[in-house]
Amino acid sequence: MKSLKEQIDQDTIHHFSSGVYAKQMRLPKGSVALTHKHKYDHLSILAQGMVMLETPEGRQLYSAPTAVTIRAGIPHGITALEDSVWFCIHATDETDPAKVDEVVIQK
């Protein structure tokens, strides 16, 4: 049986187009996209469902459809309150799905 992380990774679709990368994640109800941060602002789009976005400033509830700007250097995590589809949109020339997180996620 697959772990929840393995299921989310399997259901992740990578979209690339002329310097733009979109990570499409299917988040089953109750799943969590782990806390991380980026060197630059980026746009996220909730296409389906309802999520709780958590940052050091607090929690914010979002219902689809909506777009959210995630600020540079702000740790953030997402909890799916319903089955959800979340897109993270990044400016990058990296087109290898195995390497793109190394480019867009701040260590």
pLDDT value of position 33: 86
CA distance 36 to 73: 9
**pLDDT grade for 101, boundaries at 50, 70 and 90:** confident
pLDDT value of position 105: 84
**pLDDT grade for 2, boundaries at 50, 70 and 90:** very low
Residue-range domains of the chain with CATH: 4-104 (2.60.120.10)
pLDDT value of position 10: 67
pLDDT value of position 107: 76
Across the beta sheet with 32-36, what order do the strands follow? 32-36, 76-80, 50-55, 58-63
Its pTM stands at 0.85
* Per-residue pLDDT at 3 exceeds 50: no
CA distance 77 to 8: 14
- pLDDT, tens digit, for every residue of 44-53? 999 999 999 9
